[in-house]
Structure 1
Amino acid sequence: MKKKVLEVNDLRINFKTYAGVVQAVRGVSFELYEGETLAIVGESGSGKSVTSNALMKLIPQPPGIYAGGEINFNGRNIIPLSEKEMMKVRGNDISMIFQDPMTALNPTMRIGAQITEVLLKHKKVTNKDEAKKRAVELLDQVGIPFPEKRYKAYPHELSGGMRQRVVIAIALAADPKLLIADEPTTALDVTIQAQILELMKELQKKSNTSIIFITHDLGVVANVADRVAVMYAGQIVEYGTVEDIFYNPQHPYTWGLLGSMPDLNNSTDELLMAIPGSPPNLIDPPKGDAFAPRNEFAMKIDFEMEPPMFKVSDTHYAKTWLLHPDAPKMPVPEAVARRIKGYQQEGM
């Protein structure tokens, strides 16, 4: 049986603002096992990046507040840890790949120095020649050509794809047990994006690292993740294996995300779904189901009472009143049915 690396229970993160308290994360729970990839998917403002930053205790306090819940990493709740204690966890045990490699890298330092800094600090490598050798190996490992030459380069001398590979090399330098990738391919073109995703899969196989992959694009995770958590308005609204989410989606929000994705294998003109409206203001979260105002399938109860997390199967859960035994059976929208059929034909 695989070892449980991370267990998040009822996590709540608030932010104090002049306008009021923003309830950015509202009772999020999930778990992650050794060598597994969990994708957290949702629109901007859904709470996914706040969740990922909370896992490393990077939420500034104030204005941020850990309002409730636990983040158990390797069996220890890290929320009560001091900043000094957390500095030992970050880098050593948990590393992060940020969205924009240019802001993640120090523009005044050579690439090699930024990697060796991690090795000297976290891996307790005392010999600088040994650190350089390992840094060059890491650059080679992440697919950077002429690694010894790139070791001496500055960030601005590399392309966006190369810079992101360097960021991955830095994140892997301390052999972390958990790697958090926050929209790691958003700033890259489609070809480079595919290469980076493939690289992460290969590196995970070699190191057995657990990965949390944050993205707004459900299509990106199809061939990367083992399980998917769909977030909306600070909550997980659907949770399951990749097959559960792509072959048997249950929440109308998940339908919207799937239906808005073009089918690149379909040459016919197809109409895509659009999710109307915008996410709610989390200073004053709506009563009932937060997605109800944007949900064409919403029932009266959706505006009155928040749905529980219904069990679809042993691996699949969804937070929607449509799963209540007394709810009318709604057909999956045509655009979503097309995408499901496409994924099944592709054998995803």
Structure 2
Amino acid sequence: MDKMLEVKDLNISFHTFAGEVQAIRGVSFDLYKGETLAIVGESGSGKSVTTKSIMKLLPESNSEIKKGQILFEGKDLAKLNDRQMQKIRGKDISMIFQDPMTSLNPTMKVGKQIVEPILKHQNLSKSAAKERALDLLRLVGIPQPEARFNQFPHQFSGGMRQRVVIAIALACNPKVLIADEPTTALDVTIQAQILELMKDLQKKIDTSIIFITHDLGVVANVADRVAVMYGGKIVEIGTVDEIFYNPQHPYTWGLLSSMPSLEASEANLYAIPGTPPNLLHPPKGDAFAPRNEFALKIDTEKQPPFFKVSDTHYAATWLLHPDAPKVVPPEAIQVRRRQFPALKEGK
């Protein structure tokens, strides 16, 4: 499969009054053509910082890409200036943000907001751009697009506003679409509709998607592959089935065990103890070690490398070292592993 995006050994710091916050520490991943890669993890794990760096949307005043490459069509985006990035943002790489009300201009009609990037990046007349905008409104499921075209954002519901934001992001047929927790600001029913829309769009348009979320239930429905982030690093990456049914990192075990299910009662719902690390002073070893009941002595001394589980599945945990003791994962993970088709077949 063709690689649309390559992130290599990305290191990003924020310079604050308290000192240097090492927000991203050696993140690497690839995004392939036509796939949806989900990036999951707790708040503060580095998901949004990673993807905003791809768009060069981090504040120049206090952020710094200290090391690494972000390769897109032979260009290193990390080295481009703002003027060069303006030719890529919206045209080749687009972003859907969390809150549609802050993404839309309340003083502009929604039709004009969709037409604007089309006129900027595509060689179309105003009438052709309007037709394209109406087609996009239909594509994202907004009824009566001709009437809605001339309305303002406050005349739309939250779910409809998010559909408009998605239409704007798709206006120039981007090759990469970044969705930064696009359902967080919506209620559960509307969330389901937007997720269904994202799945439907994936089939209709030839776009690679990076989907950021802290909700693993969302991931199961939309992703092809999943990268789990913790403490500014990717700790596990694999196909959606591998991450859900054969997870290897204790942090992934914790995230999956804390998901509510119809079988689990409130009394036995798991919660990961402790808090994420302070990245003003990153830990010497595995950042998850203080919260990890399965931590080994080496976890406090040395960061684990990635160990290969399969051709598509890697996890950074010392538990995968050949000399590591065998541990029994939580019951919820054992149940998941018994459901994993590849394990059933003895692969």
With the shorter chain as reference, the TM-score category is: over 0.9
Following the alignment from structure 1 to structure 2, what is the Cα–Cα distance between the partners of residues 287 and 64? 23
Amino acid at match of 1:153: Q
1:177–1:311 Cα change, 3 Å: same
Say whether residues 1:321 and 2:327 are aligned partners: no
For residues 273-312 of structure 1, what are the alpha-carbon distances to aligned partners after superposition, in whole Å with 9 as ceiling and x for unaligned?
A: 1101110100100111000000011111111111111111
Amino acid at match of 1:304: E
For residues 38-84 of structure 1, what are the alpha-carbon distances to aligned partners after superposition, in whole Å with 9 as ceiling and x for unaligned?
A: 00000000000000100111111120001000000122211111111
Following the alignment from structure 2 to structure 1, what is the Cα–Cα distance between the partners of residues 48 and 266? 34
Following the alignment from structure 1 to structure 2, what is the Cα–Cα distance between the partners of residues 343 and 309? 22
Say whether the 8 Å CA contact 2:104–2:165 is kept in structure 1.
yes
Between the two proteins, the alignment pairs up a number of residues equal to 341
Q: CA deviation at 1:341?
A: 5.4
Say whether residues 1:129 and 2:127 are aligned partners: yes
For residues 141-200 of structure 1, what are the alpha-carbon distances to aligned partners after superposition, in whole Å with 9 as ceiling and x for unaligned?
A: 100111111111111111110000000000000100000000001111122111111111
SS of 1:222 mapped into structure 2: helix
Say whether the 8 Å CA contact 2:241–2:340 is kept in structure 1.
no
Residue matched to 2:48: 49
For residues 178-236 of structure 1, what are the alpha-carbon distances to aligned partners after superposition, in whole Å with 9 as ceiling and x for unaligned?
A: 00000001111122111111111211211110000000111111021111000000000
Q: CA deviation at 1:336?
A: 2.8
Following the alignment from structure 1 to structure 2, what is the Cα–Cα distance between the partners of residues 204 and 79? 27
1:267–1:217 Cα change, 3 Å: closer
Following the alignment from structure 1 to structure 2, what is the Cα–Cα distance between the partners of residues 267 and 99? 30
5 Å-filtered alignment, 1:188-203, equals 188-203=186-201
Which of 278, 281, 285 is the matching residue for 1:284? 281
5 Å-filtered alignment, 1:210-249, equals 210-249=208-247
Which of 287, 307, 310 is the matching residue for 2:307? 310
Amino acid at match of 1:296: E
Residue matched to 2:36: 37
Following the alignment from structure 2 to structure 1, what is the Cα–Cα distance between the partners of residues 107 and 45? 34
SS of 2:164 mapped into structure 1: helix
Say whether residues 1:301 and 2:301 are aligned partners: no
Q: CA deviation at 1:139?
A: 0.5
RMSD: 1.4
Q: CA deviation at 1:267?
A: 7.2
1:135–1:343 Cα change, 3 Å: farther
SS of 1:293 mapped into structure 2: helix
Following the alignment from structure 1 to structure 2, what is the Cα–Cα distance between the partners of residues 274 and 200? 30
5 Å-filtered alignment, 1:7-22, equals 7-22=6-21
Q: CA deviation at 1:269?
A: 6.0
Say whether the 8 Å CA contact 1:273–1:335 is kept in structure 2.
no
Which of 226, 249, 252 is the matching residue for 1:251? 249
SS of 1:184 mapped into structure 2: coil
Q: CA deviation at 1:270?
A: 6.2
| More deviation, 62-71/115-124 | 115-124
Say whether residues 1:160 and 2:149 are aligned partners: no
| More deviation, 189-198/25-34 | 189-198
1:262–1:342 Cα change, 3 Å: farther
SS of 1:107 mapped into structure 2: coil
Following the alignment from structure 2 to structure 1, what is the Cα–Cα distance between the partners of residues 332 and 266? 12
For structure 2, the 5+ residue unaligned runs are 342-347
Following the alignment from structure 2 to structure 1, what is the Cα–Cα distance between the partners of residues 194 and 228? 22
Residue matched to 2:344: none
1:116–1:343 Cα change, 3 Å: farther
Say whether residues 1:334 and 2:317 are aligned partners: no
Following the alignment from structure 1 to structure 2, what is the Cα–Cα distance between the partners of residues 34 and 267? 38
SS of 1:180 mapped into structure 2: strand
Q: CA deviation at 1:342?
A: 6.8
Residue matched to 2:204: 206
1:341–1:101 Cα change, 3 Å: farther
Following the alignment from structure 1 to structure 2, what is the Cα–Cα distance between the partners of residues 268 and 145? 41
Large movers: runs of 4+ above 2 Å: 266-270, 335-344
Say whether the 8 Å CA contact 1:229–1:236 is kept in structure 2.
yes
Say whether the 8 Å CA contact 1:259–1:339 is kept in structure 2.
no
Amino acid at match of 1:325: P
Q: CA deviation at 1:335?
A: 2.6
Say whether the 8 Å CA contact 2:284–2:300 is kept in structure 1.
yes
Q: Sequence identity of aligned pairs in percent?
A: 69
Say whether the 8 Å CA contact 1:258–1:339 is kept in structure 2.
no
